[in-house]
Structure 1
C-alpha cells in the first residue's frame, strides 16, 4: 500500500526533478498528481523516465482531502496561499520555498543531519526544505562537527544559474550566444551580465551589507546543525548551468587532521570523497550534475587557526539542494510517522 503524493510546481525545474526522483527511488505511491498554476492546467509532464505522462491539475481548484504528502516547489507567494490549505486537509506539506524555514513550529530538515527534528512536523503539518547552498554544506559539516565540534565556518559559494530557475538558465544561454555573434547583452534575470562573468549578489541586500542568500546560509545552518556555530558566507552567482560549489573553511574546538577528516567524510552518509592531490583528482559541477551525492575534494589543514580545515564541496543544486532532499524527507516521514500497510 502506497501514498497519494502531489507535486506542486510540477512544470518547473525542481518540480520535474521531484517527479524524476520519486520514480527513480521507487517511492511507494498509489497515486501521484502533477499540480501547477492555471497557466499550465492541462499540460503534461512525465513521471521521470517511466513513460507515464501526468496531466497538470490547476492548484486553484485542487482538492487536498485524501492526499498524504505534497511536495511544494512553487515559490513563497503561492506556497503562502496553498500550503496551509493542504496542511489543514491532513496532507503533510514538504516545502522547498524559504517561507517556513525559520518558523519555530516548522522543522527544517536535512535527513543525514537532523532526522529527529522531523517529529515536530505535527504542529503545522509542514516541513521545510533548506536553501540549496545550505543543504550541501551541512551534509559535509555534520560528521566533522560530531567528531571535533565546529566553532566557526567561513564559506564562499559558486552557485549555478539553475538556482534562479529556468529564466536564469535561459539568460546564461542567450547571453553566451549573443557574445559569440556580437549581439548586445542585456541582463534581465540577473543584475549584471552573467555570461563569462561572476556576480557577488544573490537575493536582496540587507542592512548589514550581506545578501539574503548569505543570511539564509547563516541562520539555516544554526537551526539545522547547531545554534552555537558561527557562520560567515559570501554567495556568488557563476556562469554554470547546474551544480553549486563551495570553498569552506572550518575552525574546530578539538584537534582534527586532514587525514582524520578524510576518513570520516569517506564513510559519512550522502557524501562522496574524491580527493587525490593530482590533476583531475577533484570534482567539479559538470561532473556532479544529475547525481544525488555531495562531493568533497581538496581537504587540507588550515595553518591560520589552531585547529582548522579547508575543503571543496560540490553538489547538484536541483537534486540534493532541492528535489532529492524533499523526497528524502518524504521517505523519512513515511518511516517514522506515515507508515502504510
Structure 2
C-alpha cells in the first residue's frame, strides 16, 4: 500500500533529509507534497528523479496526506500541527509536543509499542537529536543490567542549529584563516576553531534547556527511574553529534557482555579497536543510518560503571531517519 506523504519545512535541513531517507529506504510513497513558507513556494525539489514543486504550507489541504512530517520549528508546529492532525497523522520534529503526556515520544528501536498513544491527538513527537542517539545505545544495556545513572557530555555539530549556522561556520573559518574580524551572528561566541558550552537558553538552575531535554526525554522514552545529568557543547563540526557517556548499572558486568549486547542491538554498530583510528568520528558517521559506539571501557572509579563514545548523524538518526522510522512503524503495526 502506497501512502500520500506531506513534508512541512521541506526546504530546510531536516526536510531535505527526510526526502533523502524516503528515497533510500524506498518508503511506499504515492504522492509527495512538499510544503514551506511563501518564500520557498514554487521551488522545485527532486524525488526519485521527478521534480516536485514546493507549495505554500498555509494553503495546503492536509486531508491529501496520510502522514505529515513537520520540520519547521516550534512556532509553526504550534500553529499548524494541530490543524494538520485533524486530517493527517503528524510526526513532529520540534520540541513542542515532546513532553505532552498524551503524545508519544518515539525512538522505534527503544519504545515502538508506545506509538499506540498517537490516537490521543493524532501527533507523534520526534526526540531531540542528542537524546535519540543516546537512548539507542542505552536501551540494550538497560535491558541487560538496569541503568541507575548516566553522565553525558555532548559535542554537537552546528547543523543541529540549522542551515544558517552551517554557513556561518564556513564563513568564520575563512575569516579566521584570512585574519579578518569575526562577528558571530548565530552563536553566542565565535564558533570557528572554538567550542561553546551553551546550547539553547539557560534556566534558573544553571542548566540549559538542551541539557534538560536530554534528561526529561530519556526518562520519558526509556525509564523515569534513570538519573541523568548532561553538559551540551557546540563544536565546529558541520554534521554528526558525539557523546561521551558514563553509565552506572545496578548489576555487575563484563566487557564481553557489553560488546555482545551492543553488537547485536538494532541501530547500533560497535567500532572499537584499541589502536590509532580504531574508533568513529563525526566525519565517518555523516550520511550513515547507524549509531556508532567506540571507546568502550570500564570506569574503575565507581562500582558497576562503564564509559563509551557514541556518534551519529544528527540530521539522520537525530531527526529525519528517526521520523521516517516512526512512519514505518505505523505501517508495520497496521495503524494506517
Structural mapping, 1:244-323, within 5 Å: 244-323=241-320
- 2:206 equivalent to 1:209: yes
What's the counterpart of residue 61 of structure 2?
Answer: 63
- TM-score for both structures, normalised by structure 2: 0.99
Structural mapping, 1:9-20, within 5 Å: 9-20=9-20
Deviations 1:176-207 (A, max 9, x none): 00011111100010000000000000000001
Give 1:6 deviation, angstroms. 0.2
Q: Which runs of 5+ in 1 are unaligned?
A: none
Deviations 1:307-335 (A, max 9, x none): 01000000000000000000000000111
Give 1:66 deviation, angstroms. 3.4
The one of 59, 80, 83 aligned to 1:82: 80
What's the counterpart of residue 184 of structure 2?
Answer: 187
In 1, the alpha carbon distance for the partners of 2:196 and 2:38 equals 34
Give 3-state SS (helix, strand or coil) of 1:98's partner.
Answer: coil
Deviations 1:24-74 (A, max 9, x none): 101011111111011111111222xx2222110101100011310001100
What's the counterpart of residue 26 of structure 1?
Answer: 26
In 2, the alpha carbon distance for the partners of 1:237 and 1:32 equals 34
- TM-score for both structures, normalised by structure 1: 0.97
Structural mapping, 1:227-242, within 5 Å: 227-242=224-239
In 2, the alpha carbon distance for the partners of 1:295 and 1:9 equals 28
In 2, the alpha carbon distance for the partners of 1:179 and 1:107 equals 44
In 2, the alpha carbon distance for the partners of 1:3 and 1:324 equals 18
- 2:90 equivalent to 1:93: yes
In 2, the alpha carbon distance for the partners of 1:32 and 1:12 equals 16
In 2, the alpha carbon distance for the partners of 1:246 and 1:66 equals 40
In 2, the alpha carbon distance for the partners of 1:314 and 1:92 equals 30
Structural mapping, 1:98-109, within 5 Å: 98-109=95-106
Give 3-state SS (helix, strand or coil) of 2:34's partner.
Answer: strand
What's the counterpart of residue 175 of structure 2?
Answer: 178
In 2, the alpha carbon distance for the partners of 1:21 and 1:66 equals 21
Give 3-state SS (helix, strand or coil) of 1:7's partner.
Answer: strand
The one of 311, 335, 338 aligned to 2:335: 338
Give 1:258 deviation, angstroms. 2.0
